[in-house]
């Protein structure tokens, strides 16, 4: 089972903090469990791993099988929480090179998460001559990036299959009752899945938002949910033995001690997009009211050759959280070279896992000695059950962390600022006065 520890604990947090923090953790826990805290109307994810809609879950699995049978590619259109979790799970459990591998399941392409014409054109070209389906994910259906991308892929589907047949290849994950996308899907007869009203986007990976793309790749989504349910039960006990309590407490105390940046790292490149999901989860949940840790990420050992110098000897304002996944699925031993020109024969016969683990331990020692606290999250494996536990662990600890900071961990008011400016500059109706004002400001600054 997953566990959490602070490497060289007493160097960085010499005074006992657990007992003093316990009443606040208990209050935060009770508010999450009962939905009575700030943003409590968006805590549906707390009990989701056991309370999810079994009928919809079966429809997700059936849709995934249909896509596997009639498509060589699935285009997933979404931004932020509508794609990061799914991509993180697929990369972690299937491989960052999933689309390049020989397999019986469709390639999965993620679009609608930016505004690059080149990136969009590339995926259009990749699917133009193959059978493909589209999963459009948007609560409202009006978010600019995915809505624009969907226009292109819907047009291509209709050119390729005709309007009626193309509709059988569009799956809309959206609001269950209202919104532009829901209305369009109902009018066109597309199959729909629900974005729950009580679960925000960054907490939605274990809903249809993440589960449909994940299931298409052949990942055991039942095991993923079972792992999340196991961690849910651990967190529900309401004691400091919960790893989510321990992680939230460590983060809070390090924050109070002056560490402003948390770097999430892992020694497996397959974990890269899980760190991207984690950054949104914690950044949007905590970063408000002038508070919150800044979430960053690294990929070790690669980033030890780029960011390692700063981490070791730069400003002492950061700490690291290192995720240790466990043994690799495939074990490789270093071959012996008779000439030993590189001087590495002392590693001959050693497994890559053994070398990685010694590199991890050496780095932990170096960074902690250099004044960088290290929190270690031991996952214990790389399967869907273990990843389900990890996802729920991070979500629950995030909710606790927000309440410890006295912020609402389930809203994101600051995200709207850029959108208003963008809409005005693009000439959206109703923004005419703002457009003139912004253009004048841009002229001044240039």
pLDDT tens for 243-284 read: 999 999 999 999 999 999 999 999 999 999 999 999 999 999
Q: pLDDT grade, residue 433 (50/70/90)?
A: confident
Q: Maximum distance among all alpha carbons in the chain?
A: 75
**pLDDT exceeds 80 at position 429:** yes
In sequence order, the 6+-apart residues with CB closer than 8 A to the CB of 248 are: 25, 28, 397, 400, 401, 404
The Cα–Cα gap between 363 and 58 comes to 45
> What values do phi and psi take at 132, rounded to 5?
-145, 160
Q: What is the pTM of this model?
A: 0.95
Distance of alpha carbon 384 from alpha carbon 70, whole angstroms: 25
Average pLDDT over residues 43-59: 97
How sure is the predictor about 236, in pLDDT bands with cuts at 50, 70 and 90?
very high
Residues 124-162 pLDDT 10s: 999 999 999 999 999 988 899 999 999 999 999 999 999
Catalytic residue numbers, as ranges: 284, 419
- What is the tens place of the pLDDT at every residue in 346-391? 999 999 999 999 999 999 999 999 999 999 999 999 999 999 999 9
Euclidean distance between CA atoms 158 and 209, whole angstroms = 24
Structure tokens at 65: 């099988």
- Confidence (pLDDT) at 442: 81
Q: Residue 103: CB partners within 8 Å, gap ≥ 6?
A: 218
Asked if residue 446 has pLDDT above 80, the reply is no
SS3 7: strand
Residue 351 has what DSSP assignment?
A: B
pLDDT at 436: 78
Tell me which long-range contacts 399-402 makes (C-beta under 8 A, separation of at least 24).
Answer: 399/28, 399/32, 399/43, 399/46, 399/285, 400/25, 400/28, 400/29, 400/32, 400/244, 400/245, 400/248, 401/248, 401/251, 401/252, 401/282, 401/285, 401/286, 402/38, 402/285, 402/286
- Alpha carbon 357 to chain centroid distance? 25
322 close to 263: Cβ distance less than 8 angstroms:
no
Res 22: pLDDT: 94
Would you give the end-to-end CA distance of the chain in angstroms?
A: 56
430-435-440 Cα angle (round to 5): 160
């Amino acid at each position: 089972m997953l566990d959490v520890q602070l490497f060289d604990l007493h160097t960085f947090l010499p005074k006992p903090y657990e007992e003093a923090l316990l009443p606040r953790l208990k209050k935060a826990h009770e508010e999450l469990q009962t939905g009575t805290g700030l943003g409590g109307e968006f805590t549906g994810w707390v009990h989701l791993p056991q309370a999810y809609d079994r009928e919809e879950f079966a429809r997700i699995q059936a849709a995934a099988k249909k896509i596997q049978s009639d498509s060589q590619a699935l285009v997933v259109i979404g931004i932020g929480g509508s794609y990061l979790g799914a991509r993180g799970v697929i990369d972690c459990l299937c491989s960052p090179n999933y689309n390049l591998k020989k397999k019986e399941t469709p390639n999965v392409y993620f679009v609608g998460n930016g505004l690059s014409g080149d990136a969009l054109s590339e995926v259009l070209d990749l699917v133009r001559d193959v059978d493909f389906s589209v999963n459009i994910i948007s609560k409202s259906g009006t978010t600019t990036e995915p809505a624009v991308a969907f226009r292109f892929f819907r047009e291509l589907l209709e050119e390729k299959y005709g309007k009626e047949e193309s509709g059988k290849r569009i799956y809309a994950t959206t609001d269950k009752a209202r919104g532009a996308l829901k209305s369009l899907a109902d009018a066109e007869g597309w199959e729909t899945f629900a974005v729950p009203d009580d679960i925000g986007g960054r907490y939605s990976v274990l809903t249809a938002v993440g589960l449909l793309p994940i299931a298409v790749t052949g990942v055991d989504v039942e095991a993923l949910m079972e792992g999340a349910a196991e961690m849910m039960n651990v967190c529900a006990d309401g004691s400091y033995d919960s790893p989510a309590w321990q992680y939230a407490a460590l983060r809070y105390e390090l924050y109070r001690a002056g560490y402003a940046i948390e770097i999430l790292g892992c020694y497996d490149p397959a974990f890269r997009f899980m760190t991207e999901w984690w950054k949104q989860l914690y950044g949007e949940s905590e970063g408000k009211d002038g508070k919150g840790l800044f979430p960053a990420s690294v990929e070790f050992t690669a980033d030890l050759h780029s960011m390692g110098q700063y981490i070791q000897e730069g400003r002492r304002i950061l700490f690291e959280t290192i995720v240790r996944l466990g043994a690799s699925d495939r074990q490789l031993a270093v071959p012996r070279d008779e000439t030993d020109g590189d001087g590495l024969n002392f590693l001959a016969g050693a497994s890559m896992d053994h070398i990685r683990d010694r590199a991890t331990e050496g780095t932990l020692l170096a960074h902690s000695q250099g004044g960088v606290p290290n929190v270690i999250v031991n996952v214990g494996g790389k399967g869907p059950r273990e990843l389900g536990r990890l996802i729920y662990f991070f979500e629950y600890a995030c909710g606790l962390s927000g309440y410890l900071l006295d912020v609402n961990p389930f809203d994101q008011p600051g995200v709207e600022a850029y959108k208003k400016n963008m809409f005005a500059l693009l000439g959206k109706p109703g923004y005419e006065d703002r457009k003139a004002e912004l253009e004048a400001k841009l002229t001044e600054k240039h």
